[in-house]
Amino acid sequence: MLSERIGFVGAGQMATALGQGLVKAGLVSARQLLASDPVPEARERFAQTSGGKATADNGEVAAAADIVFLAVKPQQMGPVLSQLRGKLGAEKLVVSIAAGVRLAVLAEGLGQEVRVARVMPNTPCLVGKGACAYCLGDRATARDGELVRQILGAVGLAFPVEEKLMDAVTGLSGSGPAFVYVMIEALADGGVRMGLPRQVALALAAQTLLGAAEMVLATGDHPGVLKDRVASPGGTTIAGLQALEAGGLRAALMAAVEAATRRSIELAAGG
């Protein structure tokens, strides 16, 4: 269990998911969590969901927390950095989860002496199944890297990457849950079209994706190999796979990751 107090500037969905996930994993107690947000509903949701304290004052989080997560939208980062400049000393670790905001921007906005890191989590952190990546600023220490890895590892998988790859991480795992939800919804709709009750179809679709993903992680086999084991000659699966290829599913998913990655790059450029 960590001894550090963890603060979130911004108490939105991702901060709430991380806070609740850390408490569920036993890495921190709810008493170690503090979040700030100008929106009363966001503060209330964070407090009720994670058990942590919520305030409207960003300065309170900056003063009280040992590790400060900047959990605001990229477009809001500039004013937040200006507000926090001088309030976060070298003894604190600042971690940004904003898509596209570079380490250099964080250091320039907060002061070059501040230890900064950049992470890209995703919302399945809420259920301990996050897919996350992180990179460290120049002044961050090996201990900082271990803290970030522990925090993210408590709510899923965590991988250190070069900063130049963070936009691709954003496009794949950051945005990816939404792409998967569309797949689950579409599979369930297909089941309903073929006569299954809605709730049965939805549960079967979600469990099928969950089980298939676990197979990839547990076996280490390439998805193509696992796919071929399901598709027998002249059978039902190969007929369905032909329909997917005809519909362009593979190309559409690749294009979705590319589009989300490019949008992350645009956000970094102020777009």
Find how far residue 76's CA is from the centre of its chain.
Answer: 18
Tokens of 35: 């979040």
What does CATH list as the number for 176-268?
A: 1.10.3730.10
51: left (phi over 0), alpha (psi -120 to 50) or beta: left
What is the spatial distance between Cα 32 and Cα 223, in angstroms, rounded to a whole number? 41
Give residue 155's pLDDT: 86
Residue of 190, 125, 134, 126 whose CA lies nearest to 161: 134
Stretch 4-33: mean pLDDT, rounded? 92
Report the pLDDT averaged over residues 209-222.
Answer: 97
Q: Domain 6-162 in CATH: superfamily?
A: NAD(P)-binding Rossmann-like Domain (3.40.50.720)
pLDDT at 17: 85
User: Contact 7/64 with Cβ under 8 angstroms?
Assistant: yes
pLDDT digits (tens, 9 = 90+) for 50-94: 999 999 999 999 999 999 999 999 889 999 999 999 999 889 999
Distance CA 106, CA 119 (A): 12
pTM: 0.88
Task: Judge whether residue 271 has pLDDT over 80.
Answer: no
Ranges of each domain in the chain: 6-162, 176-268
